[in-house]
A and B are shown apart, each in its own frame.
Chain A
Amino acid sequence: MNQAAHAHPEHRDDFGAKLGMWLFLLTEILLFSGLFLGYAWMRTRYPAEFHHAGTEMNAVLGVTNTIVLLTSSLTMVLSLVAIQRGERKRAMLGVGATILLGLVFLVNKAFEWHAEIHHGNYPGSAHLATLPPGEQVFFGLYYTMTGLHGVHVLVGISVLSVMLVMIKRGRISRDRFVVLENGGLYWHLVDVIWIFLLPLFYLAA
């Protein structure tokens, strides 16, 4: 890295960095699109089963988590605004709040999964084997899609934690904030994907 640093002393390309990030987000959308496609096909095959399995979902927890994530996107934007104005403390506060809300989301999710598993609704369980095939697929998709989304929340939290340190050390500052902007873009994407997951599972009934 040292080498790169002295080989390209002047090279800085904020637009390029953002372009790269958008391309990466595109790959993320396509990653989930494979699952959305699978969901669409399975739901067409088993409309009644999906409806019935959807009644087992806890819509209150799902909606709560939606509110939590949307708020976290707000704190993320506020943090970006703050850094653009040079208010470092407030920017750190914003990122910190985003991380905290992300953790709240994951804790909520853990309770929800725990409850479902407690009811025997997990792949390979004896209870699930007694249900009609379409409902088994519903739960398979439920764990896969919310699980993959959860992994993304976790990655987002880790990325934002690094950014917290970077703001503290002045590596992200008033005139050098593209990294935070990109981190924010990633976080919003995770948020947007959740907004699609909510109706597909929690409001499926």
Chain B
Amino acid sequence: MTEHRAAHGGLPLSYLDDTGSKRGILAWITSTDHKRVGILYLYATLSFFAVGVAIGFIMRLVQLGPFHHLVTAQWYNALFTVHGVLMIFLFVIPGLPPVFGNFMLPLMIGARDVSFPRLNLASWYFFMAGAILVVVSLFTGGGPPDTGWTFYVPFSLKTGTNVTLAVFGAFTLGFSSMLTGINFITTIHQMRAPGMGWFRMPLFPWALYATSWIQVLATPILAITLVLVMLERIVGIGIFDPAKGGDPILYQHLFWTYSHPAVYIMILPAMGAITEILPTFAKRTVFGYKAIAFSSIAIAGVGSLVWAHHMFTSGISPFALMLFSLLTMIVAVPSAIKVFNWTATLYKGSIEFEPPLLYALTFIFLFAIGGLTGVMQGALAINVHVHDTYFIVGHFHYVMFGGTGFAFFSALLYWFPKMFGRMYSRRAAYVAWVPLFIGFNMLYFTMLVLGLQGMPRRYYNHLPMFDLGHEVATVGSWFLVLGLAIFFINLIVAKFRGAPAGDNPWGGVTLEWTTASPPPTENFEEIPVVTHGPYVFEQEGDA
């Protein structure tokens, strides 16, 4: 301990200053400190997010008359594939759990680190290796994959583009996700502070717990599916190839067995973060603690049994159609429970309006639209009508970007002062929200309308009847990018020049606010002893 107590008048060094025996970048990429690993993930995922945004921006431009010939049709196919792969595998899935989970989980449960710190760092290396493979696949071989992020057979077996390498990249990324899941489950079981029973644990760790189980149970299915695609392409084992007796529908089942639960890997931790943020700014305990905790588990459970709703037009049996439609409707119930609990938490709270709350409320609004359009597609008749149209694209952007993305922004604004010890400009955060919100809805709500009118997804060209819609959406994308730029410039400036934030700028009551900002390497001087539930605010007495 003594070597951590350097100059600061006996106070322990913060994790940012404590470089151990290494210097510069080495002190980061060899550190097993969960906070440093979290920051590594933060920088990596945000870089990929930036590239993904740039690609999305170009795709929108292409749909605008004057810029249509910016790229060829083949390149357009590559763009939507790469946009999907980057955003899903390199930003949304590894967004909240590895960044805020790594950083906050041990702090919130009163631990010094995760259960397996070295494994934690190793999973970041797996992540980077996978990411590099994906990036290399864009510039080598037959060029960037053009299959869409779903890699559907038989096209993914026939195309001459660099699918094999991209798929191997995604396979490697799976290891990172799986190892993080194993680490978090063990950490939550084993490392909670004395006195912190399961129902005294904050709800973000609960959400991470549910998420981690999906990561552990679903990711291997994707791994084996991708291995089969690689083997099919390299040696032609025949399991997905109808000419050899294989079955392409089997691929779709296996793919969605992972990739639908993956949607809950994306959204559950986002919901968990929102559940932390609302009580802090409403200054009252969360409404329906156990209902929120169990709804996370219920979403993880039921959400693993709805995958075939991606396949309603693929030709599966009528009984399966009905079953999966019903299950899809059911999964909306625990999600709605959360939304009602959030609003009830705000009711009669003494609300302190700050930027994280604004973004959290925006999350609830956008996620509600995303969720309700999801229920619409769970209905078989509507699904057949809107399948593979812009309606789907609009829907999942409301869930993934409006949901997970805005929750990520909200969490970033909420925990930024804790992570870096500095405060950003609140005004700039509000200013960024205006173009973000307007641009977001112009872009994706228009997509919902375009889809209902019949605009198919992934098309390079569109009919003149869709011109107006595409123009509105593209202009919306400009606002969105402007908002993102303001948002992140604000944070980057704050990282270097922000005023000291103090240990607890928001008056939060969970354990991460009881330590210094930025936290010392050891997290806590002494491991705290927990004597009550997580959201007890003094004004309320014993609540």
Contacts and interface: CB of A to CB of B under 8 A. Distances in A.
Q: Do A and B come from one complex?
A: yes
B238 A38 contact: no
Most buried by A among B21, B112, B182, B243: B182
A15 B237 contact: no
Interface residues of A, number: 45
Contacts of A136: 238, 244-245
Given A20-B183, A31-B224, A3 B217 contact: no
A33 B21 contact: no
B245 A46 contact: yes
A133 B243 contact: yes
Contacts of A143: 235, 237
Contacts of A140: 236-239, 244, 246
B239 A34 contact: no
Interface string A13-52: 1011001100110111011111101100110011001000
Interface in B86-131: 112-113, 115-119
A27 B174 CA distance: 11
Given A7-B112, A133-B245, A136-B238, A26 B227 contact: no
A68 B112 CA distance: 45
Contacts of B237: 123, 137, 139-141, 143-144
Contacts of B30: 1, 3
A183 to B, nearest CB: 16
Nearest to B254: A34
A11 B111 CA distance: 11
B32 A20 contact: no
B224 A134 contact: no
Interface string A110-152: 0000000000000110000000111111011101100010000
A132 B245 contact: yes
B193 to A, nearest CB: 14
A139 B241 CA distance: 13
B61 to A, nearest CB: 40
A16 B190 contact: yes
Nearest to B27: A3
B118 A34 contact: no
A4 interface: yes
Interface residues of chain B: helix, strand, loop or mixed (majority): helix
B158 interface: no
B115 A124 contact: no
A137 B248 CA distance: 13
A138 B306 CA distance: 29
A13 B522 CA distance: 18
A118 B217 CA distance: 39
B245 A1 contact: no
B118 A4 contact: yes
Nearest to B36: A3
A144 B221 CA distance: 15
B468 interface: no
A124 B236 contact: yes
Contact of A23 (B113, B118, B185): B185
Contacts of A46: 245
B512 interface: no
Contact of B178 (A27, A37, A123, A135): A27
Contacts of A141: 237, 239
A169 interface: no
A95 B165 CA distance: 37
Given A11-B112, A19-B186, A23-B185, A137 B225 contact: no
A180 B200 CA distance: 35
Contacts of A31: 220-221, 223-224
Interface string A62-73: 000000000000
B190 to A, nearest CB: 4
B521 interface: yes
Given A7-B33, A124-B235, A16 B115 contact: yes
Nearest to A142: B237
B219 interface: yes
Contacts of B178: 27
Contacts of A41: 247, 250
Ordered nearest first, which 3 A-B pairs have the shortest CB separation?
A133-B245, A140-B237, A34-B224
26 contacts: A1-B30, A1-B118, A2-B20, A2-B21, A4-B33, A4-B117, A15-B190, A16-B115, A19-B185, A19-B189, A27-B217, A27-B220, A30-B221, A31-B221, A31-B224, A34-B220, A38-B254, A123-B236, A123-B238, A132-B245, A133-B245, A135-B245, A137-B238, A140-B236, A140-B237, A144-B227
Interface of B: 3, 20-21, 30-33, 112-113, 115-119, 178, 181-183, 185-186, 189-191, 216-221, 223-225, 227-228, 231, 235-239, 243-247, 250, 254, 257, 521-522
Given A7-B522, A31-B221, A42-B246, 20 more contacts: A1-B30, A3-B20, A4-B32, A4-B33, A7-B113, A8-B112, A19-B186, A20-B183, A23-B181, A23-B186, A27-B217, A32-B224, A34-B221, A34-B228, A35-B224, A38-B239, A42-B245, A123-B235, A133-B245, A136-B245
